[in-house]
Structure 1
Amino acid sequence: MKKICLFLSLCALSFYSAQAQDDSMKKLREEAAKKLKEQEIDSGRVWYKGATLGLTFNQGSLTNWAAGGDKLSLSLLGTINLMANYKKGRHSWDNNLDLAYGYVNTTSLGSRKNEDRIDLTSKYGYEIGKNFYLSGLFNLRTQFDKGYLYPADTTPELISQFFSPAFIVLSPGIDFMPNKEFSLFVSPVTARWVVVMNDSLSAKGSYGVDTGKHVKSEFGAYMSATWNKDITKSINYRSKLELFSNYKHNPGNVDVFWTNALTLKVSKLISAVVSVDMIYDDDVKVFENKETGVLGPRLQIKQTIGVGLTAKF
């Protein structure tokens, strides 16, 4: 009996020892892999590339609904976010392309787009101190398709289309990047061009261009802040804020472009997305004051909530 107990004790001891050794080896492997990854990041000898693809579909219908509303509504939104970042020694080069297009159809309003965005940013930096980079930034922001105003008593009015407008920014400055999640770029000397290629819109002087002209050049101060944070394994928050002050005309009226997206991962492919976008441009005077009847700029706010497919690579 004692021999059996001794044998069982040895077996148990061997099992726990093997288990502990396996856990220890697993931990060592994970630490080695993490260290190797950190060395690769520090060495900057590789490109880091990624893509996030999203497709959101919403459908609603009403039958004998006493409160009223559209009998049928359909909406579809597609998003693509591509990034390619490179770092070697003191040199860094970050590239990001953000694309979005959405369409909605209702029985009362018909079909119209509810999202349209092309946003390309390329930024080169040379490290001059801990977390500080002497950088040059290029940004292009425009849209894919035509956009309209929909007055209640008149036909839709064309107000935008591809490269009407387009905003092009070329800016040298200082970039503060304490980690991979946050970046703050500041420049007191920035060139910006507003492009309106559509002849009818340029004839109206839309978006601040001179009447009949297609390009308006501006010179001023520019700031761009980006934050991409994984709050938890299933929750991500992404924000981009751009501010521009035109030295040539009303420098106190700062242009604002701010996008925010909160993504909640439900499963591997299904996510819920809440987005809030805000734009203020002093040269966009298409909004009428109901009290005075005078056209002028307004803070533009767009908010969307959707559930759909999301794939991240």
Structure 2
Amino acid sequence: MKKLALAVAVLSITVTSIAQDKTVQELRNEAGKTIKKDESDTTVKTWKTGGMFNLTLGQTSLTNWAAGGDQFSFNGNGLFNAFAFYKKGRHSWDNSIDLELGYVNTTSLGTRKTNDRIDGTSKYGYQLFDHVFLTGLLNFRTQFTDGYNYPNDTTKIKTSTFLAPAYLILSAGLDWKPTPNFSLFVSPFTSRWTIVKDDTLSSKGSYGVDTGKTVRNELGAYLTANYYKEVIKGLTYKAKLDLFSNYKHNPQNIDLFMTNLLTMAVYKGFGFTIGCDLIYDDDVKIFGKNKNGARMQVRQYVGIAYQRKF
């Protein structure tokens, strides 16, 4: 009788232990499973963020070169772009910033700046109907460091610096977004401030400000178009176009600011970059025979680049 009771007790403990082991194992299996999104869950992300960093370098060296030229030249250009887009219901809020700085160094001319830009935009829109938003826009553009004009190899004249010039745009209009890659904003009611926070430049009345003043306000019409597309795998194109017409003075002379960037990825982030920037500002009258005329400003560049997206 005692042996039977002992056997029953041992059997009970063994069954309980096996059951507990099975329960623990099931809990472990459940914890290790990957959580899958329910197909019926159609919730859309309200924020989309990302950006890009691009570093372009170029170098030339000459030794006993009969055709002549600088013995050594090196150029570098860095570009950083970041964005944060919000969309929920009829509301949208798009934010982006572009930062760019470039230099070239040669044995004959030393170091000179080739590019310098700070450009930030924020747009809030309320959807009226398909692809069309009633939108308010804020844009700010300036540069990081001093810029110079070089009449000859030994003379340089300061033409710009941080906040000289700077452009602040406040605008209300309609924003058309037919695809995620393209937007076109048009406004007949835009206020633009030109800022020259440098005593030397403001005393000359640079960039259209009155002599000795640091701020000039203009009212006019404004258009901005933005496009970004991966044309084929590894090949991307990014462009921006700004147009502004000043109602108060020479409205037919439209100010233009355009950037174009084509990048081709080759191997693990390395590739080629081709860019072209165009600027026309009717108030920048430092060109021509007498240095008192406005001209189309053009910058082109080609280089080997390292690019990372995030």
Query: TM tier, shorter chain?
Result: 0.7 to 0.9
1:83-137 superposed Cα distances (whole Å, 9 cap, x missing partner): 0111000000010000011111001111011110100000010000000000001
Q: Does 1:266 align with 2:266?
A: yes
1:243-283 superposed Cα distances (whole Å, 9 cap, x missing partner): 00000000000000011011111123112110000000000
1:85 counterpart residue number: 85
**Secondary structure of the equivalent of 1:207?**
helix
Amino acid at match of 1:46: T
State how far apart, in whole Å, the 2-side matches of 1:310 and 1:152 are: 36
State how far apart, in whole Å, the 1-side matches of 2:130 and 2:266 are: 38
Amino acid at match of 1:172: A
Amino acid at match of 1:148: Y
2:136 counterpart residue number: 136
State how far apart, in whole Å, the 2-side matches of 1:307 and 1:111 are: 20
Q: Which structure 2 residue ranges, 5 or more long, are not aligned?
A: 1-35
Amino acid at match of 1:307: I
State how far apart, in whole Å, the 2-side matches of 1:94 and 1:179 are: 14
State how far apart, in whole Å, the 1-side matches of 2:81 and 2:307 are: 11
1:148 counterpart residue number: 148
**Secondary structure of the equivalent of 1:201?**
helix
Q: Deviating runs (4+, > 4 A) in structure 1?
A: none
**Secondary structure of the equivalent of 1:288?**
coil
Q: How many residues align?
A: 274
2:32 counterpart residue number: none
Amino acid at match of 2:238: R
277, 302, 308: which is aligned to 1:305?
A: 302
**Secondary structure of the equivalent of 2:56?**
strand
Q: Which structure 1 residue ranges, 5 or more long, are not aligned?
A: 1-31
Q: Provide the aligned C-alpha RMSD in A.
A: 1.6
Q: Aligned in 2, Cα 1:307/1:294: closer, same or farther, shift over 3 Å? A: closer
State how far apart, in whole Å, the 2-side matches of 1:268 and 1:95 are: 28
State how far apart, in whole Å, the 1-side matches of 2:225 and 2:211 are: 33
State how far apart, in whole Å, the 2-side matches of 1:161 and 1:201 are: 9
User: Could you state the TM-score of these two structures normalised by the residue count of structure 2?
Assistant: 0.86
State how far apart, in whole Å, the 1-side matches of 2:63 and 2:305 are: 25
Amino acid at match of 2:82: L
State how far apart, in whole Å, the 1-side matches of 2:146 and 2:153 are: 21
1:210 counterpart residue number: 210
Amino acid at match of 1:80: F
Bigger radius of gyration: 2
1:156-202 superposed Cα distances (whole Å, 9 cap, x missing partner): 00000000000110000000001110000000000000000000100
